[in-house]
Amino acid sequence: MKNSLPERRQERRWSQQRLADELGVSRQTVISIERGRFDPSLPLAFRLAEVFGCRIDDLFDPRGDVTPSG
C-alpha cells in the first residue's frame, strides 16, 4: 500500500529509529511499512496518524495516490 511516511518522517528530520521509538515498534517494522511490504494494524495506523497530526487516509492509499498534505 502506498504511503507518505518517509516524506513526513523526513520533514520532521526523524530517523526510522526515532519514529519506531515514538510508535513503540521496531525499526524493521517502520522500514517494512514505509516500503509497502507490511500494512499496519488499525491501532498502529491510528497511532501513526496521531504522531503526524493527520488522518489515516492522509497517510495511506491502497490506490497509490498518496501525497503529503496537512
Each domain of the chain, given as residue ranges in start order, spans 2-57
What integer is the mean pLDDT of 35-45? 95
Give the H or E element holding residue 20.
helix 16-23
Mean pLDDT, the chain, whole residue set: 91
Nearest-10 crossing angle of helices 16-23, 27-34: 110
Using pLDDT thresholds of 50, 70 and 90, give the confidence band for residue 67.
low
Write down the pTM of the prediction: 0.84
Q: Which CATH entry fits the domain spanning 2-57: 3.30.540.10, 1.20.1740.10, 3.20.20.480, 1.10.260.40?
A: 1.10.260.40
Model confidence at 43: pLDDT above 70: yes
Reduce the DSSP state of residue 28 to 3 states and report it.
Answer: helix
